[in-house]
Each structure stands twice: as C-alpha cells, then as structure tokens.
A and B are shown apart, each in its own frame.
Chain A
Amino acid sequence: MSSTVLDIQDLTIGLPAGADRSSAVQGMNLALRAGEVTCLIGESGSGKSLAARAVLGLLPGPRVSVTAGRILFEGQDLVSLPEREMAKIRGARIGMIFQEPMTALNPLHRIGRQIEEVFRIHTTLGTAERRGRVVKLLADVHLPDPEKIARSYPHQLSGGQRQRAMIAMALALEPKLLIADEPTTALDVTTQAQILHLIHELQREHGTAVLFITHDFGVVADIADQVAVLQKGVLVEAGPRDAVLNAPQHAYTKALLAAVPRLVVPDRPPATAGLVVLESVDVRKSYAAKGFFARGRSTQALDGVSVQLHRGETLGLVGESGSGKSTLARAMTRLLPIDSGDVILKGEGITHLSTKAMRPYRRMVQMVFQDPYASLDPRQRVVDIISEGPIIHGTPPAEAHTRARRLLGLVGLDPSAADRYPHEFSGGQRQRIGIARALAVEPEVLVADEPVSALDVSVQAQVLELLADIKAELGISMLFVTHDLRVALQICDRIAVMRHGAIVELGPTAEIFASPRHPYTRALFDAVPGAAWSQGAEILTPAE
C-alpha cells in the first residue's frame, strides 16, 4: 500500500560564509510514504525548517541553497526543476502550513479569497464553483459557519481558526504531500490537540504523505508514523515511531528524550509550608479602551483572584493564553496597577504604596522573563546588568561587581562571562544571566513568567534544574507562570489552574495530577501532547 512519495537523497543545503557551520543540512536521506506522517524533529538551529523549505524550493535567497543531493517527488527531481514547473507543483501537489497562523495569511484579503487563490492558480474552475469548493473546504476543517468564515478577514479569527483555514488552503487540491512546519507550536494546548487531530484525520482520509516539523516529542508520540531526528544538520536517527521513542539508538536522541519533561510528578520531599510571603486578595483588573472618547468592550483579565504564596514553596500558575496568569504575576509584583483588591507582601499591604515607598519592597520580589533575547539590555555588560539592582539599593559598586561574578558561578556560568555582552550568549545562557540578575538583590520571592518556554528541551531541563537548586539552596519562594503542565508538574509544589481571569482549581501538585476535580483541568491534562507516552507507558500503535 505504501508507495514512496518523497525521496530525499543526500540533501545538502549550503549556508553563506560566516555562518556557524558550512551547511544547514548535511547529506540527509529520508523517504516519505503515502498515508504516513513523518516527523522531522530537532532543536532550534538544527536545519529542520530549511530542509522542509528546500522541498518546495522556498529557501531564502541565493545565499542559502541546495548544494548537493536530490529531492525526488513522485520520481521527479525538484532540485533541478525550473521555477516555472516548480510553481505548478506548489499548492497543487505539495501543500504547506506554517508555524505562525497570525502572519501566514495576508491581513488585507478575506479568508475565502486567499483559499480561492489556489483554485485560481491551478484550475480552470468558474467563480461560483470556486466559491462552493472554498465553503466545502472550510466545512471539512470543521470551522463553524464556513460561509461567514470565508467572508472574514484573518484578524477576525482566533489562532486555531486561522490554522484551520491554512490547512484548508494547503489541502485544497488534495496534494500528495503536506509539509507542516511546527503548525501547532504557536497554539494553546487544547487547540493544538484539536489541530493535530484534524491533520491526522484528513491525512488518513486522503492518503496524504505528511512531513511534520516539530521540536516536541509529545507531538511526535501523538501523530508520527516515522520519526527522523536532526542534529545540527545531520540526520542521526530515523525509523518507526515506536522504535525511536522506546528504544533510541543514537546518544543525541537518548539525551533529547531524557530531557522531555514527563507528565508525572517526580518524587520529592513535600515542601514544609511556611508563613505566607506574598498574597493577593480579591484582585481585579480589566483592560478597557481608555481615553476621552473611549469605546469598545473591556476585558476582565483578573476577576477577583485570591492566592497565597508560602515561604519556600513554588506555586505554579497554569493556564492558556488569555487566562490571566501573566497578569496575575505582574499584579502581584506591582508592575501592573490593579483596579481593586489588595497585594500583601510579608504582612504589608503594598497595593497603594507610592513609587518611592515601594522601593524597599521592590528588592524582595524579582522577576525572570520569558524572552531571554529581549529582557537583557544589549548595550550593557553582563556584570553591569547583574549589579545594577544592588547598586540602586545602596551596595557599593565594587562589592556589587564581585558579588555579580560569584552569582554567575552560582547559575552555572563562567565568571569570565561578566565582561561580555548579552548577544554573545545562547538563549539558555541568557536565561541564566536573567536569573542571576534577579537573585542579585537577594529577593525573597522570585516571579518567573514562562522562563523556559522559549528554550529548547535540553536547555529547558537544565534551567528548570537550576531554578529548583537555587530555590532549595536559598530558601526563596517562587511564583512560576507556565502554559505547560508538564513543566509545572516538574517544578511546582502547588498548582493553580487559571481560566478567564479566575483560578478554577488550586491544590498540591500530586493531588491535581492524580485527581483533577475541575473539568477544565482534566481537559488540559488530556490535551497535553503525547499524554499517554509522557506518563512513561510504552506506546501502542493506535487503532486505525
């Protein structure tokens, strides 16, 4: 039944001189069969996206190009195909979906028109027929009210709806091959589960071969038939999913798999609950259109949230985008003004303190941010970044600098890093610098807003370990914001599940995991990619 649709042979993609390696992909061999999903997995910079784009001849510019090898699509070599012939294959026989559903659609054209464009290019269908096909396609991807969606502009749809529209577009002409470049990475877990299900369903229905690019082993466990692991442009392992996941051969695959946070609660001594350090009491916050001629509806970001953080514990705030978890974290550090309610730090109400009166309390609560690239001043040396806080609070500069160097050791960086600039470090290293910066003023509470979400799994595991060590060593409390339940289980003592600006469930991690009471919590657990596999169970080949 399985015939080879795509055969990548000795593919090498050259990079311009001055890049960190000479080729993005080196001598890659991979065969895709009809009706199968092949996951190409790798960390950032592994060349997985470029490999996918090379298939469609969409490599960026003349400087990055295929320098050797062949890409045989139904027996035809795509590498040597002239642009005019390639254009006939794109969209018609090979479809593609992208990571960012926000930007992958033209913001100025209606959804219907953008899907119709595919028919316009590749078929001779009349207007009415094209319209009919568009509506049918939108219905096929389970979008509600397809007629209305077709008339909508991209900004009027949610991320999940946009991605469904993209899938409808990619599958419009029933291509033999679908290339999906991290199509669910930018989506919430519950949406991600739906989209994965949809791709799987459509692919089975039409016998499409799918090249699925991802960095998430959970997704692989859910959707893949075949897995190929790419490390720095070299394909280190390929094979059937169960073989690769359950009995990896290559050391890199093993390391990657070991770093994936499992959906289990690790054994650890129960945290002794100390006194309450930081507390929010009935905090409310709404975002409304402000101004003299204000119009429009307001959004209730926090709807009467009360939560307590005890000394020495890690409290996880878990939720999907728009749940209010980041807003709560910022409200509790008083980085964000609140509408009503109180924030209490060590028994003192800090809700209405003036900027000046707030200053001594600022030292006690410090933040670690999500984006390690944007949260460090690019024009400051690392030592200055770290010691700025203590100096503001009155430490003599010389002493602050010495301490900064010591802190770098604590977060696992060489003290010589102090005299360099942020751009010289990798994402994980920058996040370590960010943690050192937060620790420099000896805070009692660390507020970490998605501190590992922008990092690769292997780095993610290291940073999580570092945070746990530091917490144990310094006895500080941590408020840990994340969208990833697996990460929350790893590091949190208690978990608060948030939805629509309210906490729907709050309890010890083990309890929440073992017996989630709220249906939303259960839905979140169910939506975790590779849930069954993540719990350590051997994968059974799913029934067709």
Chain B
Amino acid sequence: MRRWRYFGYRLLLALPVVFGILILNFFLIRLAPGDAASVLAGESGAATPEYTELLRTKFGLDRPLPEQFVAYILAALRFDLGFSFRNDAPVSELIFARLGPTVLLMITAFTLALSIGTLLGLLAAVARNTWRDAVISVATLVCYATPGFWLGLMLIVIFSLHLGWFPTSGFENIAEGYEGWERVVDVARHLAMPAMALGLFYLALYTRVMRASMLEQTGMDYVVTARAKGQSERRIMFGHMLRNAFLPVLTMAGVQAGNLIGGSVVIETVFGWPGIGTLAFNALQSRDLNLLLGIFFISACLVVIINLIVEILTVFLDPRIQA
C-alpha cells in the first residue's frame, strides 16, 4: 500500500519535469532567428510581406507571447506538436509512426546490455585475476572503445554480406507479407544486429561496473556473516551478493538510458531502421524545426518514463528505499 503511494508520488514528481521540458521547448523555438512564418515563406521561394503576415495570423504568431504559450501548452497536452511542412504531416503523426521501432530497439539493446553485462561482470569477479577475467576485461575494453556506427558496419559486412545470417537493413521484409509468429521472427532477425551495435557499448560498461561492484561486496561484513553461518560460496554469491552488487549497476543504467536515444540516431541510420533516430537525422538535414522539437519532447518523455521504471525496479530490489 505504502509502496503504491510512493509510486504515485514519483509519478507526480515526473509531471513538473515534463512541464519543464515543454517550457524549454517553447522558448527554444522562439530563440531561433525568424519564426515559422518566415521559414515557410522562405521555403516557398518568393513570398511577399503580405503573404508572410497572412501566415503569421494563420499560425497565431502575431498574438502576444503569453497567449501563444498557453495555446502551445494546450496543444501539447493534446499531443499536437505542430505541423511538419517538409513532410506535409502533423509532427505527432510522424513521430508516433516511428515510435514503436525505436522503443523496440532501445528496450532490446537495454535489456541485452543489462542482463549480459551483469552476467559477464559476475563471471569476471568470480574468476578474478584468472584468464577468464582477463578475456572478459579485454573484450569489454575493446567494445567500450569501439564507436557504434563502425561496429554496425562491421556487423553488416560480416554477418550480412559474408555469412548472410541477418538482413542488412530495415524493420521487416514487407514483400513477404509475413503474419503472426513468422512476422515476429522476421522482425527479430532484422532487430538482432542494430540492437547489438547499440547495446554493446553499454554491455561493456555494465560489465565493468558489475565486476567492480561485486568485488566491493566481497569485503562486506554481511558476506563474512554468511560464511560464518556455513553457507556455500555459490549461495553467498547468488543469494546475498548478486542483488546488492546489482543495485549500483541498475542506478547507473537508469541515468544512462537517455544516451541510448542519442546512440540510436546513428545506429538507425546505419541500419536503415525506420525509427525516431532516422526521423531526427532527416529532420536535422532538412532543418525541419517543428519536427526536431517534437522529437526532442518525445525523447525527453521517454527518458522520464525509463527513469521512472528504473526507480520502481529499485524500490522492489532495495527495501531501504521508500521510508
């Protein structure tokens, strides 16, 4: 009961953050020289001042700033994030069409990195200073130092071009018209390499954090207590240390979830993944300001949501939090 109240409280705390993002967004538009009307007028080639003025009235840009602000907030609450003139479609429509693939990619990469990273870190800590630890350490260092896009390209060269195991790009094979499970398998085959390219860096990072965290737990008093009870080393490891050691990893992963979105821009471009990253890249190239700000808002919301989930997870794992 108290736990649910706590979640409600955290959710409540997220609202001002989202509101803050909206305010920032609104003023970011205003900071750019010129307004949407002049941009649009410029786009159409030769626009008369009268035409520009007409556009201004049409978009409400001639009204006082507070009024515009209220209108903007109200619109945003209805998920109306403006109109992308480049794509000739509402921004929200464009984004929501692409949200699914990006969220799928992010969650897959995140889960892979966290689970395998934790496992490898655990293995390295257990086998400290043996050849297994050395292999894991070197491998993580290499992954840590390799840029994601290069890794992506290498994956394509090896696994698509040479071995032909995975498709080079895209979200699914539309031409085949798969249904049901066949479609799931198809999407998974397309997902494998981008998720790996995106997640490998974080996997390496979590491995290192987990290893350090495990080694730190080794010296803790409660571990000695468990040993003094006659508990076996394996049980001490999995029953006592694992959860304690995992907490810092989870906290760090939560903070870094935002970086995954940034990373997905590059990875999606490399793999032609039809997600927000590709959309952002195109919007950037064509200076589609409204669309960019919409993406900024949605990805900020995503980060807030991920942080919320991580926080809730932490509460379930650590009884000390919530008092």
Q: Which residues of A contact B (CB under 8 A)?
A: 56, 58, 60, 87-92, 95-96, 98, 100, 103-109, 117-118, 121-122, 153, 155, 166, 169-170, 293, 296
B240 within 8 A of A: yes
For the complex, is B139 an interface residue (Cβ under 8 Å from A)? Answer: no
Are B317 and A90 within 8 A (Cβ)? no
Q: Which of chain B's residues have a CB closer than 8 A to the CB of A121?
A: 229-232
Distance A406 CA – B12 CA, assembled complex (angstroms):
62
Contacts of A118 in B (CB 8 A): 229-230
Q: Can you list 23 A-B pairs with a CB-CB distance of less than 8 A?
A: A56-B228, A87-B230, A87-B231, A87-B232, A91-B230, A96-B228, A98-B225, A103-B221, A103-B222, A104-B221, A104-B225, A106-B225, A106-B226, A108-B243, A108-B317, A108-B318, A121-B232, A153-B319, A153-B320, A166-B225, A170-B228, A293-B9, A296-B323
By Cβ-Cβ distance, the 9 closest A-B pairs, closest first, are A91-B230, A91-B229, A90-B230, A103-B221, A96-B228, A106-B222, A153-B319, A104-B221, A87-B230
Which residues on the A side are within 8 Å of B30 (C-beta)? Answer: none
Q: Give complex CA distance A103, B219 in Å.
A: 11
The B interface, classified by DSSP as helix, strand, loop or mixed, is helix
Q: How far is the CA of A87 from the CA of B231 in the complex (A)?
A: 7
Q: Which residue of A lies closest to B12 (CB)?
A: A293
A123 vs chain B, min Cβ distance (A): 11
Q: Measured between alpha carbons, how far is A95 from B320 in the docked complex, in Å?
A: 27
| Nearest Cβ on chain B to A99's Cβ, whole angstroms | 8
Contacts of A296 in B (CB 8 A): 323
**Closest B residue by C-beta to A295:** B9
Contact among A60, A98, A108, A170 for B221, CB-based, below 8 A:
A98
Residues of A within 8 A of B318 (CB): 107-108
Query: B231 to A107, Cβ gap below 8 A?
Result: no
Residue of A nearest to B241 (CB): A106
Q: Are A117 and B229 interface neighbours, CB within 8 A?
A: yes
Q: How far is the CB of B14 from chain A (nearest CB, A)?
A: 12
Q: How far is the CA of A169 from the CA of B227 in the complex (A)?
A: 13
Taking a contact as CB atoms under 8 Å apart, the answer to whether A169 and B229 are in contact is: yes
B221 / chain A contacts, CB cutoff of 8 Å? 98, 100, 103-104
Q: Is B31 located at the chain interface by the 8 A CB criterion?
A: no
B32 at the A interface (CB under 8 A): no
Tell me if A106 and B228 are in contact (CB < 8 A).
no
A90's contact among B220, B229, B243, B323, by CB below 8 Å, is which? B229
Q: Contact: B222 with A104, CB < 8 Å? A: yes
A-B pairs with beta carbons under 8 A, tally: 74
Cβ-defined partner of B319 (8 Å) among A103, A108, A122: A108
Whether the Cβ atoms of B222 and A107 lie closer than 8 Å is yes
| Cα-based distance from A106 to B243 in the complex (angstroms) | 10
Residue of B nearest to A110 (CB): B319
Query: Whole-angstrom distance from the CB of A289 to the nearest CB of chain B?
Result: 11
**Cβ of A112 to closest chain B Cβ, rounded Å:** 13
B104 within 8 A of A: no
Closest A residue to B318 by beta carbon equals A108
Report yes or no: A106 in contact with B240, Cβ–Cβ below 8 A.
yes
Identify the closest chain B residue to A109 (Cβ).
Answer: B240
User: In the docked arrangement, what's the CA distance between A182 and B28, Å?
Assistant: 62
In the complex formed, the residue of B with least CB distance to A153 is B319
Contact between A105 and B230 (Cβ–Cβ < 8 Å)? no
- Are the C-beta atoms of B230 and A122 separated by less than 8 Å? yes
Give complex CA distance A88, B232 in Å: 10
| Chain B residues within an 8 Å CB radius of A60 | 219
Residues of A within 8 A of B226 (CB): 106, 117
Contact (Cβ within 8 A) A106 B320: no
Which residues of B are found within 8 Å of A92, using beta-carbon distances?
230
Contacts of B317 in A (CB 8 A): 108
**Complex formed: what's the CA distance from A296 to B9 in Å?**
13
Q: Within the assembled complex, what's the spacing in Å between the Cα atoms of A280 and B319?
A: 41
Question: Do the beta carbons of A98 and B320 come within 8 Å of each other?
Answer: no
B112 to chain A minimum Cβ distance, whole angstroms, is 25
B230 touches A88 (CB 8 A): yes
A153 to B321, CA, bound (A): 11
B13 at the interface (CB under 8 A from A): yes
Q: Is the CB of B222 within 8 A of A155?
A: no
A residues in contact with B225, CB < 8 Å: 96, 98, 104-106, 166, 169
Render B296-323 as a binary contact track against A, CB cut-off 8 A, 1 for contact.
0000000000000000000001111001
Q: Does B52 contact A (CB under 8 A)?
A: no
In the assembled complex, how far is the CB of residue A355 from the closest CB belonging to chain B, in whole angstroms? 33
Complex Cα spacing A118 to B220, Å: 19
Is B160 interfacial (CB-CB < 8 Å)? no
CA distance A105 to B225 in the complex (A): 7
Residues of B with C-beta under 8 A to A58: 224, 227-228
Q: Which residues of A contact B227 (CB under 8 A)?
A: 58, 90
Residues of A near B220 (CB, < 8 A) are: 103
Q: Which residues of A contact B319 (CB under 8 A)?
A: 107-108, 153, 155
**Complex Cα gap A90–B225 (Å):** 10
Residue of B nearest to A105 (CB): B222
Assess A89 versus B230: contact at CB under 8 Å? Given A107-B244, A108-B244, A153-B319. Answer: yes
Interface members, chain B 59-90 (any A CB < 8 Å): none
A95–B221 Cα distance when bound, in Å, is 15
Give the most central of A87, A95, A108: most B CB within 10 Å: A108
**A148 CB, min distance to chain B CBs, angstroms:** 15
Q: How many angstroms from the CA of A170 to the CA of B225 in the assembled complex?
A: 9
Q: Known contacts A103-B220, A105-B225, A107-B244: does B230 contact A155 (CB below 8 Å)?
A: no
A92, B319: Cα distance in complex, Å: 29
Given A104-B221, A107-B222, are A91 and B240 neighbors across the interface (CB < 8 Å)? no
- Please give 19 more A-B residue pairs, beta carbons under 8 A apart, in addition to A117-B229, A117-B239: A60-B219, A87-B230, A90-B230, A103-B220, A104-B224, A104-B225, A106-B222, A106-B225, A106-B240, A107-B319, A108-B244, A108-B317, A108-B319, A118-B229, A118-B230, A122-B230, A153-B319, A155-B319, A296-B323
* CA gap between A58 and B229 in the complex, in Å: 11
Contact with A along B228-258 (1 / 0, CB 8 A): 1111100000011001100000000000000
Smallest beta-carbon distance B223→chain A, Å: 8
**Complex alpha-carbon distance, A349 and B201, angstroms:** 59
Residue interface bits B244-285, CB-to-A below 8 A is 1, else 0: 100000000000000000000000000000000000000000
CB distance from A118 to the nearest CB of B (A): 5
Most buried by B among A58, A105, A106: A106
Shortest distance from the beta carbon of B313 to any chain A beta carbon, whole Å: 14
How many angstroms from the CA of A109 to the CA of B232 in the assembled complex? 17
Closest to B225 in A: A104
From residue B63, how far is it (CB to closest CB) to chain A in Å? 33
Contacting pair A106 B244 (CB below 8 A): yes
| Residues in B whose Cβ lies below 8 Å from that of A293 | 9, 13
Please give the distance in Å from A469's CB to the nearest CB on chain B.
Answer: 39
* CA gap between A123 and B318 in the complex, in Å: 29
Most buried by A among B230, B240, B318: B230
Chain A residues contacting B224 (CB-CB under 8 Å) are 58, 98, 104
